[in-house]
């Protein structure tokens, strides 16, 4: 039988984009859109080469200072009985290279064709999910 956590994980993994929430040094939330891949109870995302104001991204500084993170995906339709969302809460860390970073890139390459093209990639954020939750209409 499919548990609520299984439903949340399945819907989450199938989504194409999400919002990553971390905490700013003053305690305020910081939310950014991301692409990601799921491997069991782990979510990975990698800083890619799309134009950014700085390579020293706020999300990386936030995770290094306060590792609590949430990632949210949702589905909207005008027929509200088809609405749903799924959220993953967990502990994040920044990975700047090595086998774990390479594994994160491989997961993203499997999900997104853009990662199969030559590109410059920065650090990964790896989130160990401790709780999956979801809601549907």
pLDDT for the residue numbered 7:
86
pLDDT in tens, 113-131: 999 998 889 999 999 999 9
- Integer Cα distance of 85 and 72 in angstroms: 7
pTM of the model: 0.92
Q: Where are the alpha helices (DSSP H) in 75-131?
A: 98-111
Please, what is the average pLDDT of the chain? Answer: 92
Contacts 24+ apart (CB under 8 A), 50-56: 55/122
Domains observed in the chain: 4-136 (2.30.110.10)
Q: How far is CA 7 from the centre of its chain?
A: 17
CA distance 123 to 131: 24
Alpha-carbon gap, residue 107 to 62, rounded angstroms:
24
């Amino acid at each position: 039988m499919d548990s609520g956590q299984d439903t949340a994980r399945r819907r989450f993994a199938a989504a194409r984009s999400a919002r990553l929430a971390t905490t700013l040094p003053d305690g305020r939330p910081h939310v950014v859109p991301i692409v990601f891949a799921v491997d069991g109870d782990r979510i990975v995302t990698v800083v890619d080469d799309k134009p950014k104001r700085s390579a020293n991204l706020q999300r990386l500084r936030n995770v290094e200072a306060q590792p609590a993170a949430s990632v949210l995906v949702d589905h909207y339709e005008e027929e509200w009985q088809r609405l749903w969302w799924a959220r993953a809460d967990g502990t994040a860390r920044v990975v700047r290279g090595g086998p774990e970073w390479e594994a994160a890139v491989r997961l993203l390459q499997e999900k997104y064709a853009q990662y199969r093209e030559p590109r410059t990639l920065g650090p990964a954020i790896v989130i160990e999910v401790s709780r999956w939750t979801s809601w549907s209409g």
